[in-house]
């Protein structure tokens, strides 16, 4: 066994293996207090590097997540790990990957659907499963992806997507205005369409109050009791948006009210949990229908669509990756605008025809 006593009375592991490219590798790790700890590490490491189709799903997941760790934002990575730990490994973990067939995936889908998860979450779970099998096909000799053969579940766009009108928002806003920070934050979200993490990451330095512009280049989240600032969701999410004068005045007044606020301090030192709590409080007090925090972003997009703002400008303001994302997300709103446009064309036609008859 390649486990040895080190010069400082600790143990170290030195093992050789062949990776998925057929290359011979050597791995060494020091600092184990006991021989047993060193041997347990060795067994675990060799299991994770045994990259062939006889891998268990659990070992495959370890390999896949280790590969993802360096390529994803920390928040995205931990979200992925959470889904594997809760819904994928408990079901498939002990199965060898070559034994997992489309019908196996179908049974898992049924179990997930019966748990009552939202369509968007079901879609996300299936995408995670398909991604790990794609990895196995590419690197571990699995002949095909059973999740792809089975077919997807869920939907990318939630049927639950809801909107507030300006009147509904104003009613809600009046109910939370007893707390200045809630009043300002919710106005910021509704009138800019910002993601909540982007708003919570804002500093005074990001806001040009005189020019009435906000520069968005980071996002905030709370993870494992730590505040984490990361880059936004996509490159297109880094953007500068204009804001109306009343919102600039509101932000100016708020900044003056916060004692000792520095240019690089977060203007809103709160969490998404706080936002959800305030949303529930405001809806209960106002009687306005409850929507999700993210639906404030949808409300802003809906407002712009009904103002006939060009879709390209909406896409840029929301920081979407491309215009197709905007069209796909809000496609159900455009038919009503198309109907309005057709009615306008009808009016133009009728007026022109009437004018023509009057000239006869």
Tens of pLDDT along 193-221?
999 999 999 999 999 999 999 999 999 99
Please tell me whether residues 278 and 346 are part of one structural domain: no
Please tell me whether residues 138 and 25 are part of one structural domain: no
Report pLDDT for 349.
Answer: 74
CA dihedral 291, 294, 299, 302 (to 10 degrees): -130
**What are the pLDDT digits (tens) for 144-197?**
999 999 999 987 655 567 899 999 999 999 999 999 999 999 999 999 999 999
Query: How far is 305 from 334, CA to CA, in rounded Å?
Result: 8
Report pLDDT for 203.
Answer: 96
Report pLDDT for 53.
Answer: 56
The reply to whether 130 falls in a domain is: yes
Q: Who has greater pLDDT, 347 or 339?
A: 347
The whole domain housing 352 covers 331-360
Please tell me whether residues 325 and 335 are part of one structural domain: no
The reply to whether 157 falls in a domain is: no
Q: Who has greater pLDDT, 13 or 137?
A: 137
The reply to whether 159 falls in a domain is: no
Query: How far is 131 from 253, CA to CA, in rounded Å?
Result: 48
Report pLDDT for 118.
Answer: 84
Q: Is the pLDDT of residue 342 over 70?
A: no
Query: How far is 78 from 14, CA to CA, in rounded Å?
Result: 30
Which pLDDT band holds residue 254 (cuts at 50, 70, 90)? very high
CB-count burial class (<10 Å; 0-12, 13-18, 19+) for 104: middle
Query: How far is 179 from 184, CA to CA, in rounded Å?
Result: 9
Report pLDDT for 76.
Answer: 87
Instruction: Give how many domains the chain has, as a whole number.
Output: 4
Please tell me whether residues 74 and 173 are part of one structural domain: no
Please tell me whether residues 66 and 88 are part of one structural domain: yes
Which pLDDT band holds residue 16 (cuts at 50, 70, 90)? confident
Segment 266-283 shows an average pLDDT of: 95
Please tell me whether residues 103 and 174 are part of one structural domain: no
pTM of the model: 0.69
């Amino acid at each position: 066994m390649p486990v040895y006593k080190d010069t400082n009375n600790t143990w170290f592991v030195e093992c050789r293996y062949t990776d998925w490219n057929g290359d011979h590798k050597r791995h060494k790790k020091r600092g184990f207090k006991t021989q047993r700890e060193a041997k347990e590490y060795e067994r675990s490491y060799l299991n994770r590097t045994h990259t062939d189709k006889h891998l268990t799903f659990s070992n495959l997941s370890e390999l896949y997540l280790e590969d993802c760790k360096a390529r994803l934002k920390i928040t995205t990575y931990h979200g992925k790990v959470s889904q594997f730990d809760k819904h994928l490994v408990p079901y498939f973990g002990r199965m060898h990957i070559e034994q997992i067939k489309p019908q196996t995936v179908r049974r898992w889908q049924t179990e997930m659907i019966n748990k009552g998860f939202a369509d968007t979450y079901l879609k996300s779970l299936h995408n995670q499963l398909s991604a790990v099998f794609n990895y196995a096909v590419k690197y571990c000799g699995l002949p095909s992806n059973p999740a792809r053969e089975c077919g997807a579940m869920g939907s990318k766009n939630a049927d639950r997507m809801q909107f507030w009108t300006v009147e509904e928002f104003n009613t809600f806003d009046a109910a939370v205005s007893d707390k200045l920070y809630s009043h300002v934050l919710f106005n910021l979200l509704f009138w800019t369409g910002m993601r909540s993490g982007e708003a919570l990451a804002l500093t005074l330095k990001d806001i040009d109050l005189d020019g009435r512009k906000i520069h968005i280049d980071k996002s905030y989240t709370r993870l494992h009791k730590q505040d984490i600032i990361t880059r936004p969701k996509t490159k297109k999410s880094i953007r500068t948006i204009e804001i109306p004068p009343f919102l600039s005045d509101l932000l100016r007044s708020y900044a003056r009210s916060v004692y000792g606020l520095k240019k690089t301090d977060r203007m809103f030192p709160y969490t998404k949990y706080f936002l959800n709590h305030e949303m529930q409080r405001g809806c209960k007090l106002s009687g306005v229908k409850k929507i999700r925090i993210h639906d404030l972003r949808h409300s802003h997009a809906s407002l712009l669509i009904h103002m006939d703002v060009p879709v390209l400008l909406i896409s840029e303001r929301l920081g979407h990756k491309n215009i197709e994302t905007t069209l796909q997300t809000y496609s159900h709103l455009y038919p009503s605008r198309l109907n309005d446009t057709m009615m306008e064309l009808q009016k133009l036609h009728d007026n022109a025809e009437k004018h023509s008859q009057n000239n006869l």
